[in-house]
């Protein structure tokens, strides 16, 4: 029996920081655009469309990051990182 075998390196942990950062930024920008949209509803402002569009974009990015984190967790649990 060979006693000079190198031990197996520990498995690399998945890094969820980029996904959580995207989720946080999308959430904060979405909240800001929601407040911007609500503040432009009183008058006749052309900015309400910009705020509504940016809110919908932030919602899509947030939902995409949820899909991203689920896929990453499933791939990590199956051993394919």
Look at residue 34 in the predicted model and tell me its pLDDT. Answer: 93
Look at residue 10 in the predicted model and tell me its pLDDT. Answer: 65
Around Cβ 70, how many Cβ atoms within 10 Å? 11
Question: For residue range 52-65, what is the model confidence (pLDDT) as tens digits?
Answer: 999 999 999 999 99
Cβ proximity of 60 and 17 under 8 Å: no
| Exposure of 37 in the CB half-sphere (CA atoms within 13 A) | 14
Look at residue 56 in the predicted model and tell me its pLDDT. Answer: 96
Look at residue 33 in the predicted model and tell me its pLDDT. Answer: 95
CA distance 30 to 19: 16
Cβ proximity of 33 and 51 under 8 Å: yes
Q: Rounded to two decimals, what is the model's pTM?
A: 0.76
Ranges under pLDDT 50 in the chain: none
Look at residue 1 in the predicted model and tell me its pLDDT. Answer: 55
């Amino acid at each position: 029996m060979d006693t000079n075998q190198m031990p197996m390196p520990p498995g690399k942990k998945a890094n969820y920081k980029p996904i959580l950062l995207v989720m946080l930024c999308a959430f904060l920008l979405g909240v800001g655009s929601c407040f911007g949209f609500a503040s432009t509803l009183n008058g006749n402002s052309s900015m309400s469309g910009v705020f509504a569009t940016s809110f919908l974009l932030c919602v899509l990015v947030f939902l995409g990051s949820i899909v991203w984190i689920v896929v990453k967790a499933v791939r990590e649990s199956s051993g394919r990182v």
